[in-house]
Each structure stands twice: as structure tokens, then as C-alpha cells.
Amino acid sequence: MVEIANADGAKRCRGRPQVRSDEETLAIILEAAGQEFQDKGYEATSVAAVAERAGVSTKTVYRLVPTKADLFSSVITGRINRFVAALDLGAVDTLDAQAAIAQMLTLYGILTLEPRTVAMTRLVLGECRAFREVGDAFYQGAIVRSSEAMAAVLRRLVDRGLIEIDDLAEAVGLLRGMMIFDPQRAAMLGKREAPTAEEIAQRAERCARVFLEGCAARQT
């Protein structure tokens, strides 16, 4: 490494650029892959195009993510990971039932109703029959994983005696449907723009209130 002086006398180093970690490179690749899938669809997206958009070699992409199916699955999983991380179960213990459920639904709505997720859902529905790996990745990585995270929130509320639920999986399905089905379908069909953050929060409050009327703990 060699030190050289710039015009004002300050020293800077010249030598090999700092090597980026595999974790940082993978994040860049997955961001590029998400954009490619969104713009072109699954079938038309190539690993070479992802590499070019990410500014890395195709060899680097294949070293970190072996197949295009793995790329797609990793894009889905990465988005769900952020949702799961945001669901703070510890915080749930400090909230009443309505506030906890509304918070959970707001986070879920922000994830699923943003334009990029709407576009990805449209892609999955359009290509899952021709490419089974697309449907499998979305079902396992998005639907199953997010449902499990939401069920964990409801389970905490049950354990605290705030609600009574016989079937957590069914309850999660009802909440998911109330929260996103109509606005997501309208956005996918181009009938309206994706809802704003304020609209999502308001809908979450309404859904939580309606849901709780059906599962509030019975007074003894």
C-alpha cells in the first residue's frame, strides 16, 4: 500500500481496492435478481443478465447461488426475512390484543401490498404452472413462513389469556385474507394503485377489530 498526497497535502492510500465480502456481494446479486424477475418475468430472466445488472461475473453468481431457481427462492426468502425480523415477539407482550394484531397486520400489509411484491405475486401466478419451482419457492418461502410467524404472534396472545383460538393456522388465513386479498387483487389487475402506508395501517386496525369480535376471551 502506497501513501500519496493530494492537492491540499492530505494523504490517501493507493493500492488494491477493498475486497467486498460474499455476504455483501450476495445482497447486491439478490437485489439485481429481484429487479430482473420483476422486469422480465422468471422465464426471460437469465443468470447472465442478473450478473450484468449486479456488476459481477456470471461465475461469481453461480458460486454464491447455484441455479436460477435458487436465485428466485433467495429473493423471496430475503423479503420474508425482513418481515419476520420486524415481528418482535417481545413487544407483543407489552401490547393489548388489538394493538398487537394491528401492528402485525400493518407489517404484513406493507410487505405484501407494496408494488414490488404485487409484481412478484403476479409473476408467480402467471408462471407457476410452467415452472413448478416458482410456485414451490413462493409457497414455502413466503406463504408458509409468514404464516408461521403470524401464528407465533397469535400464540403469544393466547398464552396471555387475551384471545381464544382453536386453530391458529385457520385464524392466520382469515387475517391474511381480510388484510390483503381485495387491495392486492385490485392492484394486480391495475384497478388501483397500491395503498399508502396510512391506508394500510387503517385497514389493519379495522381488520384487528373485526377479528377480535370473534375470538375475544370469554368472561367467566
98-144 per-position pLDDT tens digit: 999 999 999 999 999 999 999 999 999 999 999 999 999 999 999 99
Domain spans of the chain?
1-66, 68-215
Q: What is the pLDDT of residues 14-26, one digit of tens each?
A: 545 557 899 999 9
Q: For residue 11, is pLDDT > 60?
A: no
Burial class (CB in 10 A: 0-12, 13-18, 19+), 188: middle
Report the pLDDT averaged over residues 33-45: 95
For residue 165, which phi and psi values (nearest 5 degrees)?
Answer: -135, 130
Query: What's the CATH number for 1-66?
Result: 1.10.10.60
**Residue-level pLDDT at 19:** 78
Give bridge partners of residue 4 from the DSSP assignment: 12
- Asked whether the CA dihedral 162, 167, 168, 171 is positive or negative, the reply is negative
Fold of domain 68-215: Tetracycline Repressor; domain 2 (1.10.357)
Given this model, what pLDDT does residue 154 score? 97
Q: What average pLDDT is seen over the chain?
A: 90
Rounded to two decimals, the pTM is 0.83
Comparing CA positions, the residue from 126, 113, 138 lying closest to residue 195 is 113
The residue ranking higher by pLDDT, 96 or 2, is: 96
Q: What is the DSSP string of the chain?
A: -EEEE-TTS-EEEESSPPPPPHHHHHHHHHHHHHHHHHHH-TTT--HHHHHHHHTS-HHHHHHHS-SHHHHHHHHHHHHHHHHHHH--HHHHTTS-HHHHHHHHHHHHHHHHHSHHHHHHHHHHHHHTTT-HHHHHHHIIIIIIHHHHHHHHHHHHHHHTTSB--S-HHHHHHHHHHHHHHHHHHHHHTTSSPPPPHHHHHHHHHHHHHHHHHHHBPPP-
> What's the confidence (pLDDT) of residue 216?
67
